Amino acid sequence: MNILKRLRFITNFLFSPIHQQTKSRMTNIILFGPPGSGKGTQAQLLVERFGLLHISTGDLFRYEIGNKTPLGIEAKSYIDRGALVPDSVTIGMLKNKMDASPEVKGIIFDGYPRTIPQAAALDNLLSERGSAVHAIIALEVEEEEIVKRLLDRGKTSGRTDDNNEEVIRHRIQVYHNETSPVFNYYDEKGKGFKVAGMGSIEDIASRLAGVMHSIDK
């Protein structure tokens, strides 16, 4: 990680208007990366280690799908073909989840935001709570490794979006076209960090913990 970027991040965090007004120590992190990059896997470990709330929009959609709610039925039609669920649906669901947990030390956002309008909505929701996104951490994984991981998971997960290579490659394309600009959106504010997402789950967790400690200083 580049020292200049780290300094820019710390300055930005300490002297942001929100931080000066509230001295809020809520720590909000976006875990970012393509499908299958290990966001869900690593978010679980970060939650155990740092005591933050984990919000995975993918998990929220799968819960709704499992209960056959109208939201779940609508989301399934997009997820099955590897498309993003529309922002209006996703943002409303995220707001409900955040409203249900007003008193938290911080949040790890996993799989959200996936578009610029989702990022803008998140900034507003956090600002209403006197807080902000403090960092976006991108897991970098090669495409062939992603396809392998997701096809492996598809053998046992029952997830319809994981057992078809064409759908998986479409999800990766959607990530490049619609989601990857979200990293730059926060990086321009000095909040972007990149972590190598190849290797053992434990090694990646250590790299992420290193970034988390530097953010928390």
Least distance between ligand B4P and beta carbon 96 (Å): 14
Q: Which is nearer to ligand B4P, 53 or 161 (CB)?
A: 161
Q: Which is nearer to ligand B4P, 41 or 214 (CB)?
A: 41
Encoding tokens for residue 177? 């076209």
**Whose CB is nearest to ligand B4P?**
58
Least distance between ligand B4P and beta carbon 217 (Å): 27
Least distance between ligand B4P and beta carbon 87 (Å): 7
Q: Which is nearer to ligand B4P, 27 or 57 (CB)?
A: 57
Residues at the contact surface with ligand B4P, assessed by CB under 6 A = 35-41, 56-58, 61, 78-79, 82, 84-85, 90, 111-112, 114, 118, 149, 153, 161, 171, 201, 204
CB 171 within 8 A of CB 80: no
Q: Which is nearer to ligand B4P, 13 or 212 (CB)?
A: 212
Pairing verdict, β 53-56 and 106-110: parallel
DSSP for residue 36: T
Encoding tokens for residue 108? 């790890």
SS (H, E, C) 114-155: CCHHHHHHHHHHHHHCCCCCCEEEEEECCHHHHHHHHHHHHH
C-beta atoms surrounding 64 within 10 Å: 19
